Structure formats: C-alpha cells, structure tokens
C-alpha cells in the first residue's frame, strides 16, 4: 500500500498577514488530495457514526439521524503538515460538542477512527469548546470522497492530518494512544503555529 497518494504542485502564494503559520504557503483555489491509502467509498445506507470507549451508553447515529442533528457552518483556515494552507474554507456539519452533549466521561483523549483503518489521536480539549466538527459539506456541496466524504473530522486549529477523512467515530480514552501517522513519527498534537510537525518539534 502506498502511504501517500500523489500530492499537489501549484503556484505558491503568500497569505494575508497573520493568517499563515510558519512554513506554510497559500494554495488559493487549489485543494490538494493527500491520503494514506486508497479512497473508501461507503454507501450512505451502511454509514454510521459512533462515540465509544469511556462512555455509557455508547452513542451511534445512522446517516439519516446524523443529518437531523443541529448543524453549524464554520468558515475556517486549514493547514497541512506538508506546508500548504487553504484560507476561508466553508464547511457544514455537526459540532463535536453536539455529539458529546450530556456525556459524562473520565476520558481525557479521543481516537478518531475511519473507514480504511486510519486513526488519529487528539486531546478531548481539542475537540470540544467549539473547536471541532464532523462535516459532510464543503463549499455548499456534499463532501467528495477524495476529501473525506461522506464525512470527515474538521479540527482546523491543528494540522490537517488530525482532521481524519472518512471518519466513522470517536473512541474516548483515559490515556493518549498514538494514531496512524503518530506511530510513524508525526507530532502527537500538531499545532501549526508551533510547527509541531514531527515528534520532538
């Protein structure tokens, strides 16, 4: 299996002042496609989203149930560890806060898991407080499979590998459990403003 699909080469642009973290460039209208393997294509009738782990009872939504949850439409800048940034991206989906509403848990971390076996770990604090969403719409249209459709995690204040494509759930954990790229030496948290690209940064 190829670890990374073909990347994107385009004209590098300097972004507006204060919008680009160190080492990043603005791709403008481009939207690079980078994936750790083939693109899953899950039929909506079999798709669901679950919150598991340190939560009782576990929560699960079908596609139809997920689409009926209260929705938000964040406009955010996104930043890839490979140095591209895309500014003012428009999404629509469900806040993680909504998915966890009323949950009592001793968890401090979460592992996002996806179709295709991809995982990534995040502190629960990075997923709550209006900082993260599960999105199914980009720029007013259903999210393309190449960009993580039917739904992906969106955590825009961290490098984009934390915004897991094809996401199917969150497993709440007491301890930090490294995900796919983290086991290959990527940083546990991935703050682009601190250039937390790799372990030790």
Considering Cα of 174, then 181, then 163, then 161, what sign does the dihedral take?
Answer: positive
Q: What is the pLDDT of residue 13?
A: 59
Answer whether residue 111 is part of any domain. Answer: yes
132: which residues sit within 8 A by CB, 6+ positions away?
Answer: 95, 96, 122, 126, 153, 154, 155
In a domain, 165, yes or no: yes
Residue 122 lies in a domain: yes
Mean residue pLDDT of the chain comes to 92
Residue 5 lies in a domain: no
The answer to whether the beta carbons of residues 134 and 99 sit under 8 Å apart is: yes
- Among 146, 10, 148, CA closest to 86: 10
| Torsional sign, CA 60, 76, 198, 33 | positive
Range of the domain at 178: 25-194
CATH number (domain holding residue 110) = 3.90.420.10
The predicted pLDDT at position 15 comes to: 61
Over 50: is that where the pLDDT of 135 sits?
A: yes
**Rounded mean pLDDT, 75-98:** 97
Say whether pLDDT at 1 is over 50.
Answer: no
Structurally, the chain folds into a number of domains equal to 1
Q: Is pLDDT larger for residue 188 or for residue 35?
A: 188
What pTM did the predictor assign?
0.91
Inside any domain, residue 16: no
Check residue 201 and give its pLDDT.
87
Taking residues 187-201, report their average pLDDT. Answer: 95
43-61: per-residue pLDDT in tens? 999 999 999 999 989 999 9
Beta-bridge mates of residue 74: none
Q: Is 182 contained in some domain? A: yes
Long-range residue pairs from 131-135, CB within 8 A, at least 24 positions apart, any chain: 131/96, 131/155, 131/157, 132/95, 132/96, 133/72, 133/74, 133/91, 133/93, 133/94, 133/95, 133/96, 134/49, 134/66, 134/93, 134/94, 134/96, 134/99, 134/167, 135/74, 135/91, 135/92, 135/93, 135/94
The answer as to whether 20 is a domain residue is no
């Amino acid at each position: 299996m190829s670890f990374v699909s073909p990347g994107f080469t385009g004209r590098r642009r300097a972004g507006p002042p204060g919008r680009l973290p160190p080492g990043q460039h603005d791709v403008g209208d481009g939207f690079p496609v980078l994936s750790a393997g083939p693109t899953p294509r899950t039929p909506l009738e079999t798709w669901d989203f679950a919150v598991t782990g340190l939560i009782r009872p576990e929560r699960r939504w079908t596609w139809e149930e997920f689409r009926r949850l209260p929705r938000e439409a964040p406009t955010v800048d996104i930043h890839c560890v490979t140095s591209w940034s895309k500014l003012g991206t428009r999404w629509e989906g469900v806040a993680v806060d909504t998915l966890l509403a009323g949950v009592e848990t001793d968890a401090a971390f979460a592992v996002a898991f996806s179709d295709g076996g991809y995982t990534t770990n995040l502190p629960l604090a990075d997923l709550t407080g209006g900082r993260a969403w599960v999105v199914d719409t980009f720029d007013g249209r259903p999210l393309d499979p190449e960009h993580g459709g039917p739904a992906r995690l969106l955590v825009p204040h961290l490098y984009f590998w934390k915004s897991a494509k094809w996401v199917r759930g969150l497993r709440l954990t007491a301890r930090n459990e490294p995900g796919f790229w983290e086991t290959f030496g990527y940083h546990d948290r991935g703050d682009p403003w601190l250039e937390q690209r790799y372990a030790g940064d």
